[in-house]
A and B are shown apart, each in its own frame.
Chain A
Amino acid sequence: DAGITQSPRHKVTETGTPVTLRCHQTENHRYMYWYRQDPGHGLRLIHYSYGVKDTDKGEVSDGYSVSRSKTEDFLLTLESATSSQTSVYFCAITDPLRDYGYTFGSGTRLTVV
């Protein structure tokens, strides 16, 4: 959707390789989030950020790290990809000063072989 983009949209990688997913927003929102979506689990929070260089862990953070050096970019890194990290990854943003509700990116489908 306009205002938030994820890249790449699709990626296939090998077990043990590092992978970085990018979320870019043009809305100047303070809060950014990374979720993974898996059948039977819905969406689970990996990491989130509440400002530049301010990040925190979600419920499934093991094996993932994040960085936010600019307001507009939030990077998710799989340090050493495993098959259990095959998933669809969504980035979301929100600005609680305006209204409740996330705006989601279109997702990245990651396959680890």
Chain B
Amino acid sequence: GDSVTQMEGPVTLSEEAFLTINCTYTATGYPSLFWYVQYPGEGLQLLLKATKADDKGSNKGFEATYRKETTSFHLEKGSVQVSDSAVYFCALSGGASGTYKYIFGTGTRLKVLA
């Protein structure tokens, strides 16, 4: 079945450091890929998405490129801020599980220190 694998956290960075959170997936067909962010005590919010190979999703300084050849969708940001501290989830839809059911990774906690 479909699956999403994220790097283990927590990831601790100093402010203005470069961020990479790895995400790889296994899916049949041509899934869409997503990154969601969860701040403490809140639900998940869509951060960015890509619906086909080589697409780059971007939002709030975060970027991720849909790489079909490596089945990856790594999240990057050039300069993190304390306010980016949150849990980040990689997800896919449209694989064997169907278009409207998402498969989520286990989440990666990011802590940014001032």
Contacts and interface: CB of A to CB of B under 8 A. Distances in A.
Interface of A: 1, 31, 33, 35, 40-45, 48, 50, 58, 90, 92, 94, 96, 100-107
Contacts of A107: 42-43
Interface in B35-54: 36, 41-46, 49, 51
Chain B, interface size: which category? Answer: 20 to 34
* Majority secondary structure of chain A interface residues (helix, strand, loop or mixed): strand
B34 A101 contact: yes
B12 interface: no
A58 B89 CA distance: 19
Interface stretch (B14-22, B62-70, B78-86, B97-105): B97-105
B49 A106 contact: no
B95 interface: no
